Structure 1
Amino acid sequence: MVFKRMLRAFGVGGPSVDTVLSNPNTRPGLTLAGQVNITGGDHDVEIDQITVALVTRVEMETSDEEYDGTVEFHRVPICGELRLAAGQQLSLPFEVDVPWETPVTDVYGQRLPGMTMGLRTKIWVRGALDPGDLDDVHVYPLPVQERILAAFAALGLPFTGADLEHGKLAGLPQTMPFYQEIEYASAPQYPGVNQIELTFLADPHGVTVVLEFDKKSGLFTPGHDSYGHYRVEHAAADSVDWVGQVDSWLRQSLEQRHTLLGGYGGHGDHGDHGSGMGGMLAGAAGGAIAGFAAGMVAEEVFDAFGGDEEE
């Protein structure tokens, strides 16, 4: 009997769980729906709660090392206390709101290299190790984000990688404990800079677009990177010439950066650069771009992310 109790404490003979997502594809601000299927083991158990949570891998940094860690950033309870009999089967439906600042993991059917995202199910079994399940999740960009990513490709900026950085961008409306950087090498029309990092901070009304330069090149000391940020409303997705707009953002931010480099002895500044453009985008008119993701431009996007289109 003692041996059996020990086995049960390690989860042997306990319940099993299988989570099935109705659709693993989503966008920031939308939902993930599915059901948690539970099968009782060879003995009755008391369950304190069942939860699902969005998890991802984030780059952590200390004074002497960098490492990746798994971060749970949004947990939702599915049910509270219940008794699960031996062999009993339960199916519990759920719907999870995807936070607006959830990182983009996929673009046009291609997984962004460096991005991971999953929905972790956990059964909190009293007095035993908790069984769980992990399901892959694909987060696609919002329309505004998609147009901006396509514009980067059309401007000839080579995609080099993506990651999640632990921490906060000073002075910006960030709610997550991390932020996504989508990284590009520079192009000849933007001299004086080697690397550009693109960050999206979305909310129900729009997206704050952050452009950061040469953070990992060694040109700036930690805490003295250079960036500009701009605001665009969701409604502007199909009413702006995004290639022209992104080019304008980059040139304006770089001009301000060069001014700061001259004024601060070679270091950038985390000031509120470029914010004068905030709010102007919602009323901006430009070339129609509703079909921007098709044809030649779409091919450039696929090339930029290192793969062919997948259905």
Structure 2
Amino acid sequence: MVFKRLLGSLGVGGPTVDTVLDPGAVRPGGGLSGQVHLKGGDADFDIEHISLELVARVEAEHEEGESEGVAVFERFIVGGGFRLAAGEVRSVPFSVTLPWETPITELYGQALGIVLGVRTELAVAGAKDKGDLDQLTVGPLPGQEAILEALGQLGFGFKSADLEYGHIRGTGQQLPFYQEIELTPAPQYAHQVNEIELTFLATPGGMEVILEADKRGGLFSEGHDTVTRFTVSHDGIEYQDWNALVDGWIRQLVEHRASYGSHSSHSHEGHYRHHGDHGHGDHHDGHRSGPGMGTVVAAGAAGLAVGVVGGMVAAEVVDEVGDFFEGDEEDEGDEEG
């Protein structure tokens, strides 16, 4: 969906911009291509530059609770340095590379409730304005899909997904936020954990997989969170027994043993999670933002069950993403950190 509007700072008669992304989902670390279509206004204008910003709706935890805002996580200059004549129609093709940590927004073609966008900005004769906003659809890397597929086959179900502002300590995280995918436990683990939270941090060579379990309390003990971290390569995906590997990860997580790759598992409090400079340490009460915004679907018996119990459906996300981003532009600096 394309959100097209007149460049407000240039007033009536200014040029318009319409960015059209090539169809289909892209992948983290992959190419994003399309066309920026310009139409001249009532007079000639010097186009100093055309830039694309990747933006995301994120959640931030602070002392007062949680809030939502917009984070810009990449910016590209894709054109400029020319005069756009009055009434002239011009298209500027572009091809850029997404960050490896770009969140995934869909699985098996079904929306997960993550809102990403590509925002086009024109710098025209010293003035800048956000001219266009398009929804960005990102599918999983082969390794991410293999892990999620294995979790589905092991009996785990999709609960929700969100983007958390802040950094995970002890990792190579690059973006100002990270994605959490919340899963309901498989039946064999339901008596031990309330839910599993999964985060992927991909790099050109592989990715870190962070698993967190919200463990159930016993008769004489309180529930608590444990975290483990694993590293996998992008190579040899098709030769790995993912069901066995992932099941081993989960067993180590819930049993609080030493984690794969000589990394020790930790109690959650005071170790891994760090939600920005909000002055409250690493507090985490085991609850996130609630239901995601995907439609209620099933990905097939062999795959991860994708479904939610409430929230907005995918079509509503598409309709409202433009209004959300435009309404939060003034708060961008607070969310970027």
TM over 0.5, shorter chain: yes
Please tell me the residue identity of whatever aligns with 2:175: M
- 1:61 paired with 2:61, answer yes
In the superposition, the TM-score normalised over structure 2's length comes to 0.72
> How much has 1:162 moved relative to structure 2?
0.2
Corresponding residue for residue 143 of structure 1: 142
- 1:17 paired with 2:22, answer no
Q: Judging changes above 3 Å, is the alpha-carbon distance between structure 1 residues 270 and 242 closer, same or farther for their aligned structure 2 residues?
A: farther
Structure 1 segments of 4+ aligned residues over 3 angstroms from their partners: 7-10, 126-129, 217-220, 266-272
Unaligned segments of structure 1, at least 5 residues: 1-6, 259-265, 273-296
Give the alignment's Cα RMSD to 1 decimal. Answer: 2.8
Unaligned segments of structure 2, at least 5 residues: 1-6, 259-265, 273-297, 309-337
Q: Judging changes above 3 Å, is the alpha-carbon distance between structure 1 residues 16 and 246 closer, same or farther for their aligned structure 2 residues?
A: same
* Equivalenced residues, count: 265
Corresponding residue for residue 117 of structure 1: 116
Answer whether contact 2:299 2:305 (CA < 8 A) is retained.
no
1:7-35 per-residue CA deviation (whole Å, 9 max, x = no partner) reads: 97453211111112223411111101111
User: 1:8, 1:246 → 2: CA distance?
Assistant: 52
User: 2:255, 2:118 → 1: CA distance?
Assistant: 42
| Residue aligned with 1:235, SS | coil
Corresponding residue for residue 306 of structure 1: 307
| Residue aligned with 2:256, SS | helix
Corresponding residue for residue 78 of structure 2: 78
- 1:39 paired with 2:39, answer yes
Corresponding residue for residue 202 of structure 1: 202
| Residue aligned with 1:123, SS | strand
Matches within 5 A, 1:90-169: 90-112=90-112, 114-126=113-125, 128=127, 130-169=129-168
| Residue aligned with 2:254, SS | helix
User: 2:71, 2:8 → 1: CA distance?
Assistant: 28
Q: Judging changes above 3 Å, is the alpha-carbon distance between structure 1 residues 93 and 158 closer, same or farther for their aligned structure 2 residues?
A: same
Corresponding residue for residue 248 of structure 1: 248
Corresponding residue for residue 323 of structure 2: none
User: 1:299, 1:171 → 2: CA distance?
Assistant: 36
Corresponding residue for residue 324 of structure 2: none
> How much has 1:82 moved relative to structure 2?
3.1
Larger radius of gyration: 1
1:24-56 per-residue CA deviation (whole Å, 9 max, x = no partner) reads: 411111101111110011122233311012111
Q: Judging changes above 3 Å, is the alpha-carbon distance between structure 1 residues 269 and 12 closer, same or farther for their aligned structure 2 residues?
A: same
Of stretches 167-176 and 16-25 in structure 1, the one that deviates more from structure 2 is 16-25
Corresponding residue for residue 175 of structure 1: 174
Q: Judging changes above 3 Å, is the alpha-carbon distance between structure 1 residues 252 and 303 closer, same or farther for their aligned structure 2 residues?
A: closer
Please tell me the residue identity of whatever aligns with 2:186: A
In the superposition, the TM-score normalised over structure 1's length comes to 0.77
> How much has 1:245 moved relative to structure 2?
1.0
Answer whether contact 1:150 1:298 (CA < 8 A) is retained.
no
Q: Judging changes above 3 Å, is the alpha-carbon distance between structure 1 residues 199 and 77 closer, same or farther for their aligned structure 2 residues?
A: same
User: 1:189, 1:197 → 2: CA distance?
Assistant: 17
